[in-house]
Amino acid sequence: MESLERIKARAEEAVPGATIKIIPNASPANQPSLLIDSDHTLAVVQFLRNDAALRLDFCSNVTGVDWLDRTVTTKVKVKTLIDGEEKEIEQPQVENFPGYLETVYHLYSIALKHGPVVIRLRTADRADGVHLPSLTPVYRSAEFQEREIFDLYGIRFHGHPDLRRILMWDEFVDHPMRKDYREPDDYEYEPTPHDEVLERAKEHYAARPQLDGAENLAADEHG
């Protein structure tokens, strides 16, 4: 299979306007990945699937990853005037990296028997911007896996035919695979919550959805 740099260059040429970035992978596994911008994802993925030299017809694995907000503190030397004398002192500089959610797709080619080409999509943030295009119209194998990511990470996939919770029950509110998830207060030790435990547990359960529930769930605000 051709190198990732070449794939990136050809994909950018085939889909005008697409920005693709190579994310290196330091591990000995040597599986770097392509970060694709969400506006051109479908076109790029269709190129990867239909291109005669790539033919990535098999989407094996779809994963969600949660990256929390990070703060990195570095010490920077700054010149300031102290008592009329210019001195160089060290000051901590705080840099904030906003968190985001990510989906990772492992694509292989059954026709040409090569792979994987790993592609990643990133959301704008972890709150309101958790929207990504769905790859289910291109790869049916993403259907249940994207539903699982919606369920456990809360990423809304546009263009998914049937975006509902799949492993948790429909009335459940949180997204349990998020790194800042806190389990319900009735978790494990309280089989039938009552009194104040019930009160605390209630915030994790939504009202039963009205009709079929998918629309309500997709529109809820709990992210």
Partner 1 sequence: MSVGFHELAEAPPRAMSSRLEGELLEVSLGPQHPSTHGVFRMNVALDGEIVRKLKPVFGYLHRNHEQIGENTSYLGSMPYTDRLDYFCSMTNNWAYALSVEKLAGIEVPERAEYLRVILAELTRLQNHTSLLGFLLSDMGAWGTPLMYAFREREKILDLFESLSGSRMMCDYMRFGGCRVDAGADWMERAEKVADGFPRFLDEFEKLITSNEILLARTQEVGRISAELAVNAGLTGPILRACGVNYDLRKVDGYGIYPRFKFRVPLGDHGDCYDRLMMRALEMRESLGILQQAFAQIPAGPVMNPKVKIRAFKPPAGEAYGRIEGPKGELGFYLISDGSANPYRYRVRPPSFINLTVLEDMCLGHTVADVMVILGSIDIVMGEVDR
Give the residues lining the site for partner 1 (CB under 8 A).
25-29, 31, 57-61, 63, 65, 104, 106, 110, 113, 116, 118, 136-137, 139-145, 152, 159, 161-169, 176-177, 181, 211-215
For partner 1, the closer of residues 159 and 193 by Cβ is 159
Identify whether the C-beta of residue 167 lies closer than 8 Å to the C-beta of residue 222: no
For partner 1, the closer of residues 129 and 176 by Cβ is 176
CA distance 122 to 2: 25
Q: Does the bond joining 116 to the residue before it have cis omega, within 30 degrees of 0?
A: yes
For partner 1, the closer of residues 14 and 104 by Cβ is 104
Question: Shortest distance, CB of residue 100 to partner 1, whole angstroms?
Answer: 14
Residues contacting residue 207 through CB under 8 Å, at least 6 positions apart:
171
For partner 1, the closer of residues 34 and 142 by Cβ is 142
Question: Shortest distance, CB of residue 63 to partner 1, whole angstroms?
Answer: 5
CA distance 200 to 207: 15
DSSP 173-203: -S-TTSTT----TTTTT-SS--HHHHHHHHT
Question: Shortest distance, CB of residue 152 to partner 1, whole angstroms?
Answer: 8
Question: Shortest distance, CB of residue 50 to partner 1, whole angstroms?
Answer: 13
